[in-house]
Amino acid sequence: MPSPFLSSEEYDERAHQLYNEGQYEEALEVLREGLALYPHSVELHIGVGYARLAREEYAWARRSFEEALVLDPEHEDALAGLGETLMKFGQQEAGVKTFRRILELGYRDDLDLMLQVGRALFRESLFDEAREFFEISVQQAPEMAEGVALLGYTQHRLGEEDAAVSMLRRALQIDDDHAEARIYLANILYDRGDYEAALYHLDRTTPEDHWDELGIWRLVELKKSIYRLQDDDPELRPWDERLGELAGEPDDVDEMLSEIEGRFNDQRSGDNQQGQLELFGALLSELADQRDPIEPRHRIMTREGREYIGSWDQIVREMRDANKQWAGRTVQEFMHNEARRGYSLTGIMIPTHNAESFIRGSADAGLLRIVR
């Protein structure tokens, strides 16, 4: 008869599959069941650590990684997880030291591990340290486009623009279909004023390759100016549709404001209407009645330790105002830029159709923390 129990390896494999599907709670249930039978399984403790890390349960993640390291002090995956968790607590020096222990143990040829550590350092804006791990991955696998592209992103963040352009072009020579590298390169070229080269690369992407709106806006703008296309040109329709998908549906307040604005304009055009100020005041009162009497106040913390308190919209405005280079620019432009930067850092798309989705998306990407 078959055994009623799975082996620890089978539990680990099942949990890993659930983790890859984003089913973190289900993965934890499988891992807990496995640990009840195999409490000394290093892999199961590590699995719990990564599932907790994905759920932003950092204290529990740290405990699981540390338990794994008690059982096997030189386990590279446990060291990588602990290093990433330490940096979530602001212990960057300890995190980097833990990552370097992986190198000391001789795991330079583990490409996935080198990229994992490099990405973790990149997300924390430790670009010099991230470059070291990405350079190791490129040395080990010079024909792997992903590692080359990541090194290019890091060089760009370090202000080495020419080196970044060269590295991203190298990534595209290796893999002509590396859409992320192509879009990143196009945006660098656009920022440098090399519009024809930017359009060349953007024109070789598809709408589905884009996970933020900035690259699409730039492509549409360049097509109109260089190819003299009109707004309703069929060639632009797929890009307009993708913009609509990324922007999402308007929220309830947007729809309410649009409706009230329409009613205000209709009533203002009549012959026997209230004075404009009286009518506008009445409509604002109606809007206030339909919204919550007390607008919720939220609190977030950035990775730099800066705190913001207020409504979602107030927080985003304050984030923009705190960055002098965005003085006089719109909040939407600020969100688009930060979403693009966040995508280059984490590979996670951050929505920008409203302030709340932008902040929650930034938190999901690990760029800030929502306290309440």
- The CATH number for 67's domain is 1.25.40.10
Residues 279 and 337 in one domain: no
In a domain, 304, yes or no: yes
Over the stretch 90-120, which tens digit does the pLDDT of each residue have?
999 999 999 999 999 999 999 999 999 999 9
Residues 1 and 103 in one domain: yes
Higher pLDDT, 276 or 12: 12
Residue 274: pLDDT over 80: no
Q: Which residues contact 350 (CB under 8 A, 6 or more apart)?
A: 212, 338, 339, 342, 343, 358, 361, 362, 364, 365, 367
Q: Residue 109: in which H helix or E strand, if any?
A: none
Q: Which range scores top for mean pLDDT: 173-177, 276-280, 319-323? A: 173-177
Residues 329 and 306 in one domain: yes
Least confident of 188-202, 331-345, 351-365: 331-345
Residues 285 and 338 in one domain: no
What pLDDT, on the 0 to 100 scale, is given for residue 280?
46
In a domain, 273, yes or no: yes
Residues 257 and 350 in one domain: no
Residues 318 and 275 in one domain: no
In a domain, 307, yes or no: yes
Q: Which residues contact 120 (CB under 8 A, 6 or more apart)?
A: 80, 83, 84, 87, 95, 99
In a domain, 7, yes or no: yes
Residues 350 and 263 in one domain: no
Please check whether residue 359 is in contact with residue 368, taking contact to mean a CB–CB distance below 8 angstroms: yes
What pLDDT, on the 0 to 100 scale, is given for residue 288?
45
Least confident of 130-139, 202-211, 301-310: 301-310
Residues 10 and 54 in one domain: yes
In a domain, 278, yes or no: yes
What pLDDT, on the 0 to 100 scale, is given for residue 258?
54
pTM score? 0.67
Helix (H, G, I), strand (E, B) or coil at 365: coil
Cα separation, 228 vs 237, in Å, equals: 15
Residue ending a domain, choose from 107, 136, 164: 107
Strands 298-302 and 307-310: antiparallel
In a domain, 155, yes or no: no
Residue ending a domain, choose from 107, 127, 161: 107
Query: With bands split at pLDDT 50, 70 and 90, how would you rate the model's confidence at 349?
Result: confident
Residues 364 and 322 in one domain: yes
Over the stretch 136-165, which tens digit does the pLDDT of each residue have?
999 999 999 999 999 999 999 999 999 999
Q: How far is CA 310 from the centre of its chain?
A: 23
Residues 82 and 3 in one domain: yes
Least confident of 207-211, 267-271, 319-323: 267-271
Task: Give me the domain span that covers residue 270.
Answer: 252-290
Residue ending a domain, choose from 68, 86, 107: 107
Question: How many structural domains is the chain composed of?
Answer: 3
In a domain, 240, yes or no: no
In a domain, 220, yes or no: no
Residues 314 and 284 in one domain: no
Tokens of 181: 């590298």
